[in-house]
Amino acid sequence: MMSRRTVWAGWVIGAAWLAGAPAFAQTPREASAAVTPSIPLDDLSAEARTRVRSVIDQPTLKTTGRAETFVCQPAVYDWLLDHPDLTVRLWRLLGAKCGDISPDGRDSFVWKDGASHVHWDTMLKRPGLRVWYADGVIHPGLFLPTVPVRAVAVLRYSDAKNGEDRPALRHQVELTIHTDSHAAALVARVLGASAPRAGEQMVGQIEMFYAAMAWYLEQHPRHAEALFAQLRRPASTDTPMKPSSKSGS
């Protein structure tokens, strides 16, 4: 499993290249041609449109994830999209290592990990579509510079068919990043990473964060009940909760 620090370092590694879920819950992935989801800018407020255009008009990195089809309850998937702070708690209850995500007002959240922090807002939310705008700083590691980052993520999803005639969704994420190319280039030289691969990992982590959890909750309904019951308790009481032999189905 890729560490959270590697994931966020990938943001600046990928940007530098253009300038110069946890394994136990993975869902099957399918290859697909890259699709460029258009952003309905006219549906955004004037302020939101300005912030989004500041990224998409001057992209340092643009990458599109694979289209994935997975079995889940669509209502649960929607709930996860709206509650990344609680989705992180669910991952931790399954034993995953995750950075902190905290709510910061309506449809706004903050991710923190050491000197790195990223704030994001939901700029557009409607059935089958989310548009997120994020800004913050990433600190890839000791002796490396802090890199300012702005990003726009577009998530599209729709009902899908599967061979078992069970509820399923198909989703795909497009991520556009703008960052300081000089600082990012230094990080890339030090870490020696491949930006194309880093870009795939970035988008893959976003997709897996939601899809794999929605899939897991569908596959293990009794354990899901226990997990959601824990969410009603203080986060300070959270400890990893393994499914019992009777709750795995």
* Beta carbons of 207 and 80 less than 8 angstroms apart: no
Q: Give the separation between CA 111 and CA 137, rounded to whole angstroms.
A: 11
* Mean pLDDT of the residues in the chain: 80
Say what the pLDDT of residue 20 is: 44
Say what the pLDDT of residue 147 is: 80
Q: Give the separation between CA 122 and CA 36, rounded to whole angstroms.
A: 19
Q: Which of 26-35, 138-147, 207-216 has the highest mean pLDDT?
A: 207-216
Say what the pLDDT of residue 182 is: 67
Is 145 a residue whose pLDDT tops 60?
A: yes
Are β-strands 68-71 and 147-160 bridged in parallel, bridged antiparallel, or unpaired?
Answer: unpaired
* Beta carbons of 71 and 215 less than 8 angstroms apart: yes
The DSSP symbol for 39 reads: P
- Most distant CA pair in the chain: distance in Å? 55
In the chain, what are the domains? 4-233 (3.30.530.20)
Q: Give the separation between CA 179 and CA 61, rounded to whole angstroms.
A: 9
Quote the tokens at residue 16. Answer: 């530098």
Q: What radius of gyration, in Å, describes the C-alpha atoms of the chain? A: 18
Q: Give the separation between CA 107 and CA 130, rounded to whole angstroms.
A: 11
For 118, the 3-state DSSP assignment is strand
105-117 b/e (C-beta count within 10 Å ≥ 16 → b): eeeebbbebeebb
Say what percent of the chain tops pLDDT 70: 72
Q: Give the separation between CA 246 and CA 70, rounded to whole angstroms.
A: 24
Write out pLDDT tens, residues 105-137: 889 999 887 788 889 999 999 999 999 999 988
Quote the tokens at residue 85. Answer: 């702070």
Is 9 or 130 the better-scoring residue by pLDDT?
130
Question: Cα–chain-centroid distance for residue 3?
Answer: 14
Among residues 246, 207, 237, the alpha carbon closest in space to that of 87 is found at 207
